[in-house]
Amino acid sequence: MPSLRSQLLACLLLGLVSGRKVPANVKNFYNTVVAQGECIDKLASGFHSIEGDSGKFSYCGDHVNDYNVIYIQGKNGTLANLDVDCDGIQGSQADDGRCESSGDTQSITSFQDIVQGYKTGQKDLDSNIHPYVVFGNEGTKKHWHKFDPQDYGIEPLSIMAVVCNNKLIYGIWGDENGDDGTEAMVGETSLSLATACFGKEMNGNNGYDGNDILYIAFPGSDAVPGAKGALWNAKNYTAFEASIRTRGDALIARIGSNSSGNCTGSSGYCHVPISSAPLTAAGSLWMGGQALLALIMAVALIM
């Protein structure tokens, strides 16, 4: 049975990670996107957030040139919902049984080979640990709506930001939507990310149906933590999310500032170097939180 000290430490760490509010620049971006109603530069359209809806959700490139981000939006100010994806490693120590209710789980994610190539001992992503986003749509069915994020500079296992329930959660692009259903869908995350947003009521068959979740992807290699930039073999969500937070903080600094001056190469996509990216006031505060988190973890090791 865990000691009282370890239980308190776990609660404190969880609070530092999952209780963060949305910083002002991201909140302003969220409100602006919603107020606009729908995006103008639709990179791909015809997607569904909920089965049977209008199918008018799009991947949006309105802010590729200024903030270098791509996001999902529907019409009339709607964004996307949050379904739960349990693909990947099954039955790990972090598995609390909530994925058992899923009726379409696959034991592999889209970028399993890349995860294995990192040589950390991690064989694939784990929905119970890794806060991944299902982003992009593939399929071979006739008239199936498709979108390949890599065509727009978004790299596999790159960091994404999710605004949900008045929180900002960092995740990674870890899986894609296939054509195994009747409609091309958007709006899905791993169980661990869904739990960070809405609590343990989330499970493999119960997500969040409100179309107010903002999914933000970041084109460019600077969004990819790589083998050494994230704790891929983490044993829980808290440890993994903490490992990508500094890079996430730098990436969201793109939003609300003109990063077009850093555009290089023929692709036209902008790259904000992690070492030089400006931090918002909230981001600076989070950096302090990261240091505090490291201190707490160090103390825990010697106690």
174 DSSP assignment = E
Would the CA dihedral through 245, 246, 251, 255 be positive or negative? positive
Neighbours of 294 (CB within 10 A): 11
pLDDT of residue 285 exceeding 60, the answer is no
pLDDT of residue 85 exceeding 80, the answer is yes
The rounded mean pLDDT for the chain is: 85
157 contacts 225 by C-beta, under 8 angstroms: yes
- Tell the burial category of 162 from Cβ atoms under 10 Å away from its Cβ (0-12, 13-18, 19+): buried
Q: Taking Cα atoms as reference points, which of 187, 214, 280 lies closest to residue 69?
A: 214
72 contacts 59 by C-beta, under 8 angstroms: yes
For the question of whether the overall pTM of this predicted structure is more than 0.75, the answer is: yes
What's the pLDDT band for 24 if we cut at 50, 70, 90?
Answer: very high
Q: What are 208's strand-pairing partners?
A: 82
Rg of the chain over all Cα atoms, to the nearest angstrom = 18
Looking only at the bridges linking them, the beta strands covering 159-164 and 132-137 are: unpaired
Can you tell me the mean pLDDT for 71-83? 99
pLDDT of residue 11 exceeding 70, the answer is no
Can you tell me the mean pLDDT for 106-133? 97
Token code pair at residue 287: 């950096």
Would the CA dihedral through 109, 217, 197, 74 be positive or negative? negative
Angle at 15 between CA 10 and CA 16, to 5 degrees: 100
Domain edges within the chain: 4-302
Token code pair at residue 22: 């949305």
Q: Where are the beta strands (DSSP E) in 114-153?
A: 132-137
142 DSSP assignment = T
Q: Taking Cα atoms as reference points, which of 164, 274, 265 lies closest to residue 218?
A: 274
Confidence (pLDDT) at 195: 98
Lowest-pLDDT range of 85-89, 273-277, 292-296: 273-277
Confidence (pLDDT) at 269: 38
pLDDT digits (tens, 9 = 90+) for 264-275: 333 333 444 433
Neighbours of 32 (CB within 10 A): 12
